[in-house]
């Protein structure tokens, strides 16, 4: 089942936290024993590897953020800057129609004497 777009990151973050805990346990860095994945569950084992690959890809998007004193602040700044750039590009491609009509009302009556 896929996530709804308005809560995609919120839902995934909780699931990813659970997966991280299991990976720590598997690697001996967690507090518990890892949950066993039966040998015949090839898809789950492959998904575990794919998840780590995706996490590495996400980390590459925010290269240098981990070196920052406050990585969360740095990541937030990167995302907010990109969102602002996308909004500006969207506004340039689709200007608001009301902006075009602003001068029309002021020109009425000009030229009449």
The answer to whether 26 and 37 are in contact (CB under 8 A) is no
Residues 36-51: tens digit of each pLDDT: 888 778 898 899 999 9
- Structure pTM? 0.66
Measured between alpha carbons, how far is 62 from 82 in angstroms, rounded to an integer?
12
Please tell me the predicted confidence (pLDDT) of residue 102: 52
- Give 112 or 11, the one with higher predicted confidence: 11
User: How many C-alpha atoms does 74 have within 13 Å on its Cβ side?
Assistant: 12
Q: Are 26 and 34 in contact (CB under 8 A)?
A: yes
* Beta carbons within 10 angstroms of residue 26's beta carbon: 15
Domain boundaries, the chain: 1-61, 63-99
- pLDDT value of position 46: 92
The confidence band for 97, taking pLDDT boundaries of 50, 70 and 90, is low
Residue 14 pLDDT > 90? yes
Distance CA 37, CA 26 (A): 11
37-93 pLDDT, tens digit per residue, is 887 788 988 999 999 999 999 999 998 888 888 999 999 999 999 999 999 988 888
């Amino acid at each position: 089942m896929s996530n709804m777009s308005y809560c995609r990151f919120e839902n995934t973050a909780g699931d990813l936290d659970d997966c991280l805990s299991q990976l720590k346990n598997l690697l001996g860095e967690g507090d518990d024993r890892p949950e066993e994945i039966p040998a015949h569950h090839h898809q789950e084992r492959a998904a575990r590897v794919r998840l780590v690959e995706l996490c590495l890809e996400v980390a590459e998007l925010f290269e240098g953020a981990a070196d920052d004193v406050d990585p969360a602040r740095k990541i937030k700044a990167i995302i907010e800057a990109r969102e602002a750039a996308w909004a500006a590009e969207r506004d340039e491609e689709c200007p608001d129609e009301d902006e075009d009509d602003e001068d029309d009302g002021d020109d009425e009556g000009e030229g009449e004497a």
